[in-house]
Amino acid sequence: MGKSNDNKNNLYPVFLKLETLHTLLVGGGNVALEKLQSLLANSPAATITIVAPLIREELREFIKDNSDINITERKFEASDLDEKDLIIVAVDDKEVSKEIKRLAGERRLLVNVADTPDLCDFYLGSIVQKGNLKIAVSTNGKSPTIAKRVKETLNDTLPEEIDELLNNMQQIRDKLGGDFAQKVKELNELTKQLLTK
C-alpha cells in the first residue's frame, strides 16, 4: 500500500449510478431527510430502503409518490444489510452507528455515518450541477461550511450555457479537423471563451 499524506486530501472521487445499487438509509429524522433529499436530487431513480422506528411526516410526504423507496418502521436489524450495496446512517446514537458500521464492515459494505468522519468509508460532498456538468466538492470531512461556500461560488460562476456546450460537444468534436492534439487545442479555446463570458 502507498504511503498516506495527512496534509492532503487522499479521497478518490467517484460518481455512483445509484439506480443500479440498493441504498440503505438508517434513520427517519431531519438528518435522514436531508440525506434522502440529496440522494434523490442527484439520482431520482435510486432504490432506497429506509429503516427507523420513527419516521418524520415530512420524510413520508417527500417520498409519497416514489415507488423506488421502501420504509421499514422499526429499529435497525443486521438483516437490513442483506442485498444492500451502500449504507447511510443518520441516527442520533453513536453506539448504534458504531454497531451498524461494524456489521457492514464484516460484509465489506461502504458506510457513511452522518457527522462522524471517523466512521465513514466515503463522504457526501457538496454538489454543483449545471445540466450534465456535475462537480462534487470535498473538504475531507473537515468543513461542510467551506464546501458549501465553494459550491455557491461555482454555481454563481459557471454559466447556464455550459450544458448547451456539453450537449453539442460530440458534434463540435466531429466537425473539427486535424489530429488529436489540434482538436484538443481548438476545444480548449472554445471552452475558454465560454467560461470567460
- What pLDDT score does 22 carry? 98
The set of cell numbers assigned to 114 is: 452522518
Range 140-145, long-range pairs (CB < 8 A, 24+ positions): 140/9, 140/10, 140/11, 141/117
For the chain, the average pLDDT equals 90
Tens-place pLDDT, residues 114-141: 999 999 999 998 999 998 899 999 988 7
- Is 75's pLDDT higher than 90? yes
Q: Is 130 left (phi over 0), alpha (psi -120 to 50) or beta?
A: beta
Q: Which fold has domain 18-124?
A: Rossmann fold (3.40.50)
- Is 183's pLDDT higher than 80? no
Residue ranges of domains in the chain: 18-124, 125-158, 162-195
| pLDDT confidence bin for 178, thresholds 50/70/90 | confident
Instruction: Tell me which of 115, 156, 163, 179 is the catalytic residue.
Output: 115
Q: CATH topology of 18-124 equal to that of 125-158?
A: no
Query: Cα separation of 71 and 63, whole Å?
Result: 10
pTM of the model: 0.84
Nearest CA among 30, 32, 31, 67 for reference residue 50? 32
Higher pLDDT, 195 or 7: 7
Higher pLDDT, 141 or 87: 87
Class of domain 125-158: alpha beta
Report which DSSP code applies to 64.
T
- What pLDDT score does 44 carry? 96
115 is annotated as an active-site residue: yes
